[in-house]
Structures are given as structure tokens and as C-alpha cells.
């Protein structure tokens, strides 16, 4: 959200407001989800890497646990994809504003894409994907 402030008409007001709304909605959803999980299973048993799948398996709903596991993998993938787009946009903005070398903030000719920023973000992310364990990367998301 904050990575796209250049496209907003009134960023001082709108971006701050949208970030606050997003945090409030996320906090309410996480709280409600935690209440449901602790209603299904005692909270002392939820100290596992996949508490939602565990809770549904614990109450005998293995099919739903599988669906939740697949949904979690899709969620991690979309989170990573969003971070890739946001990181390239931030790198482009830094280059355009002079905080990084100017060639990073250039737009390619016919395609109107910040190719240099995309390339740098992609290389950094490929290196992280190759050398940092997946469990650690997933915990960042």
C-alpha cells in the first residue's frame, strides 16, 4: 500500500488513513480467528507451525485441514508475490528520487517498465530464496 503513494491524489491523507484501516481490519480478523481456534482446541496445544490445520485435524475435520493447508501455501505465495512487486517499486522510487544511483530510476523505452529496478529486486530475491531457509522466509510474511 505505502509503495504506491505516487499514484494517489492526496497521499498525506489517504495513505495514512488506508494503512490505519488495514491494520484495524487485520487486528479484528486475527482476534476473531484466535477466538475460534481457542474455542476448538486448548491454547496450550496450538504452539505448532500450522495451528489452523492442527485445530481442524484435532476435531476430526481432516478434509478442512487440508483445504486450510493449501490456502496457507497460496497465501504465502501471494504474500511473496506482493513483496516482489512492492520491492521493485520501492527500488525504482529510490532511484528516481536520487537516493540510489539514477540508472535505477529509469523507465525502459517501449515497455514503460522500471527494468533496472525489477532486475535488482529479482536478483536480491533470488539470492535470498537460495540461501535463506523457507521456514524463516515464511515467518517474515
Domain assignment of residue 85, yes or no:
yes
| Structural domain span for residue 66 | 61-140
* pLDDT at site 118: 87
pLDDT value of position 19: 84
Alpha-carbon distances, residue 101 vs 3, 24, 57, 88 (angstroms): 19, 37, 52, 14
In this prediction, residue 13 carries a pLDDT of 75
Weakly modelled stretches of the chain, pLDDT under 50: none
Give the three-class secondary structure for 9: coil
Contact by Cβ (8 Å): 105, 114: yes
Q: How far is CA 2 from CA 15, 63, 89, in A?
A: 7, 38, 10
Give the chain's domain count.
1
C-alpha cell at 20: 490505519
Q: How far apart are CA 137 and CA 100, in angstroms?
A: 26
Q: Does residue 75 belong to any structural domain of this protein?
A: yes
Residue 2 maps to a domain: no
**Do 84 and 71 contact (CB within 8 A), yes or no?**
no
Q: Is residue 52 part of a domain?
A: no
CA neighbor of 95 nearest in space, from 112, 111, 118: 118
Provide the pLDDT for residue 26.
94
Residue 110 placed within a domain: yes
Instruction: State pLDDT tens for residues 118-141.
Output: 889 889 888 888 898 877 876 776
- The x, y and z cell numbers of residue 7, run together, are 499514484
Q: Residue 141: its pLDDT value, please?
A: 61
Amino acid at each position: 500500500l505505502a509503495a504506491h503513494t505516487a499514484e494517489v491524489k492526496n497521499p498525506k491523507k489517504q495513505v495514512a488513513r488506508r494503512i490505519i484501516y488495514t491494520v484495524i481490519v487485520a487486528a479484528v480478523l486475527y482476534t476473531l480467528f484466535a477466538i475460534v481456534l481457542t474455542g476448538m482446541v486448548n491454547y496450550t496445544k496450538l504452539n505448532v507451525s500450522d495451528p489452523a490445520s492442527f485445530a481442524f485435524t484435532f476435531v476430526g475435520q481432516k478434509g478442512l485441514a487440508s483445504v486450510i493447508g493449501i490456502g496457507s501455501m497460496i497465501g504465502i505465495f501471494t504474500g511473496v508475490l506482493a513483496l516482489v512487486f512492492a520491492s521493485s517499486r520501492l527500488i525504482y522510487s529510490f532511484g528516481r528520487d536520487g537516493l540510489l544511483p539514477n540508472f535505477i530510476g529509469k523507465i525502459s523505452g517501449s515497455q514503460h517498465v522500471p527494468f533496472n529496478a525489477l532486475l535488482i529486486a529479482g536478483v536480491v530475491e533470488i539470492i535470498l530464496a537460495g540461501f535463506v531457509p523457507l521456514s524463516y522466509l515464511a515467518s517474515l510474511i
